[in-house]
Amino acid sequence: DIQMTQSPPVLSASVGDRVTLSCKASQNINKNLDWYQQKHGEAPKLLIYYTNNLQTGIPSRFSGSGSGTDYTLTISSLQPEDVATYYCYQYNSGLTFGSGTKLEIK
């Protein structure tokens, strides 16, 4: 099974900061990766699909990049409403969620 490791587990940043969340796969996943945002008590919401495609309705401050085993979700200017846990999700071989990064405001 493909393992997905996200770092850091917890990230604390200030409003307006540029924030980078990382996701590393145990093997090449050929860009078959999505990013989800989950706010407390809610279902996950798709932010980015196939590594770098912004889901409809998601603010343009969110972007994704990566290839091979290493992927990144970037928030260009952190907003208070971005407080959530973020998960990467690979579907190249089987389906696996990453362990999550909890994003907090300083």
One of 2, 11, 13, 46 touching other proteins (CB under 8 A): 46
Q: Is 60 in the site for other proteins (CB under 8 A)?
A: no
How many residues bind other proteins (CB under 8 A)? The answer is: 24
Given a contact cutoff of 8 angstroms between Cβ atoms, the answer to whether 34 and 46 are in contact is yes
Alpha-carbon dihedral 67, 68, 70, 72, rounded to 10 degrees: 20
One of 20, 22, 30, 38 touching other proteins (CB under 8 A): 38
| Sole residue written with tokens 């970037």 | 74
Of 76, 79, 67, residue with least CA distance to 32: 67
Positions in the binding site for other proteins (CB under 8 A): 1, 34, 36, 38, 43-46, 49-50, 53, 55-56, 85, 87, 89, 91, 94-100
